[in-house]
Structure 1
Amino acid sequence: MRFSTLMVTLLSAGLVISGCATQNGAGVSNAGKGAAIGAVVGAIAGKSTSNHKNKRLVIGAAVGALAGAAVGSYMDQQEKALQQELSGSGVKIIRDGDKLKLDIPAQLTFELNRSDIRSNLYPVFNDIAKVLRDYEKTMLVIAGHTDDTGPYQYNMNLSQARAGSVKQYLVSQGVQSIRVETQGYGPSYPAVPNTSESNRAANRRVEIHIEPIVE
């Protein structure tokens, strides 16, 4: 069966389930919607959603996709909401066309050589999650980066663990798991040359890339 046909069939089943919940008076919460999407994607995981484009198609069919001028307007509104929520937080919001990047200094987010988020940063991630919940027609890639000190594989593992911790926290705050991917890059993509301590500190970072889901 072709991917598109399978996707439509499974999404239709998922929407029927969601519709039944609504007819029973319960409504569909964000968590319920996320579970329905997750169930559909899980049913076609492996060969179909390993491809980024296919995964985007699945999410777009479930939560809706953007087209034309609506894309830029949607991302404008999301950027404004993030600026309002994150003012004074130390998180940089970077716009690249219709994509957004949140640059989060790792030294603010994690203790040295640890991957668990500092508890004092929870309010910042709560604000990020709030905006991501409101603007669900986006996919997210959380990327972890390190400086070049220490063993390469250790840094790769640490960057992946930190990206995973950020995903786990955002999901716990209601962001749909299927929308979020993680990647640990270790020291492979420094923002600046690792030639001083201040530069190495700048390279220890986590980025959240926000991409609109388009038709």
Structure 2
Amino acid sequence: MKLSIKSLAIASLAVAVTGCAVNPQTGQNEMSKTATYGLGAAAACGIVGALTHGGKGARNSALACGALGAGVGAYMDYQEKLLREKLANSQVQVQRVGDQIKLVMPENITFATGSATLGSGAVKTLGDVAGVLAQYADTTMVVAGHTDSTGSQALNQSLSERRAAAVASVLQQRGVAAARIRSVGYASSQPVADNGTAEGRARNRRVEIAIDPIKQ
């Protein structure tokens, strides 16, 4: 749900009205501190975002900013929450470091050995991911392909690039703007486990999606 300036104003007014309480000492209607904070956060995030980025910048302010607290961290917090919910029954790992969210997709749920063609299950999973990423437009992402050390460097480099491009293509097809996505292949240069074991090689064969906020 992308909020327009008009809908944001209506939502803010609703918060203001429902957040009032009667002061027992004065008998006057006063806005609670909680409502004041929520209204200020939602209005600040939404209106400033709209002014700097147009309609897109008026994004999910009432939820991401009003409910969770204004700022980049809150914006990413809510996306992380949604992604974890969407991916709860998958083998995709959701990692968080600072303001970055990283999705790690192992080869066994994405590609057949030596192939850059996504399986139907992986396409569905990426569709769920894309639904969240398209909703929260103030981020960029790097899709990175990784292989194990088996085979030639040239073959692994090409395979990692084609796999990253395949994942990026599905995200674009499901509504994520191409300008927000960069795909890259690292072959076997960034292992996360020992290539000397079968288990380690399996962990190294992966695609990662690093999601970063656009900071103003």
Could you tell me the TM-score, scaled by structure 1's length?
Answer: 0.69
Tell me what 2:199 maps to.
Answer: 198
- Is the contact made by 2:147 and 2:206 (CA closer than 8 Å) also made in structure 1? yes
Which stretch shows the higher mean deviation, 143-152 or 192-201? 192-201
Identity across the alignment (%): 42
Q: Distance in 1 between matches of 2:91 and 2:170?
A: 19
- Is the contact made by 1:65 and 1:214 (CA closer than 8 Å) also made in structure 2? no
Q: Distance in 2 between matches of 1:84 and 1:208?
A: 17
- Is the contact made by 1:78 and 1:131 (CA closer than 8 Å) also made in structure 2? yes
Unmatched tracts of structure 1, length 5 or more: 1-59
Counterpart residue identity of residue 110, structure 2: T
Tell me what 1:141 maps to.
Answer: 142
Counterpart residue identity of residue 189, structure 1: Q
- Is the contact made by 2:109 and 2:121 (CA closer than 8 Å) also made in structure 1? no
Could you tell me the TM-score, scaled by structure 2's length?
Answer: 0.69
Unmatched tracts of structure 2, length 5 or more: 1-51, 60-68
Tell me what 1:74 maps to.
Answer: 75
* Aligned-pair CA distance for 1:123: 1.6
1:94-150 superposed Cα distances (whole Å, 9 cap, x missing partner): 000000100000121001111010012222111101110111110000000000000
- Is the contact made by 2:142 and 2:181 (CA closer than 8 Å) also made in structure 1? yes
Tell me what 2:174 maps to.
Answer: 173
Residues 33-112 of structure 1: matches in 2 within 5 Å?
61=53, 63-64=56-57, 69-112=70-113
* Aligned-pair CA distance for 1:70: 1.1
* Aligned-pair CA distance for 1:64: 3.7
Task: Give the SS at the match of 2:190.
Answer: coil
Which stretch shows the higher mean deviation, 115-124 or 154-163? 115-124
Which stretch shows the higher mean deviation, 151-160 or 116-125? 116-125
- Is the contact made by 2:99 and 2:212 (CA closer than 8 Å) also made in structure 1? yes
Number of aligned residue pairs: 156
Q: Distance in 2 between matches of 1:65 and 1:211?
A: 18
* Aligned-pair CA distance for 1:178: 0.4
Q: Which has the larger radius of gyration?
A: 2
Counterpart residue identity of residue 125, structure 2: V
Q: Distance in 2 between matches of 1:142 and 1:65?
A: 26
Q: Which runs of 4+ in 1 moved over 4 A?
A: 60-63
Q: Distance in 1 between matches of 2:128 and 2:173?
A: 13
Q: Distance in 2 between matches of 1:151 and 1:64?
A: 46
Cα RMSD (Å): 2.0
Tell me what 2:132 maps to.
Answer: 131
Q: Distance in 2 between matches of 1:149 and 1:127?
A: 32
Relative contact order, CA 8 A, sep 6+: which one is greater? 1
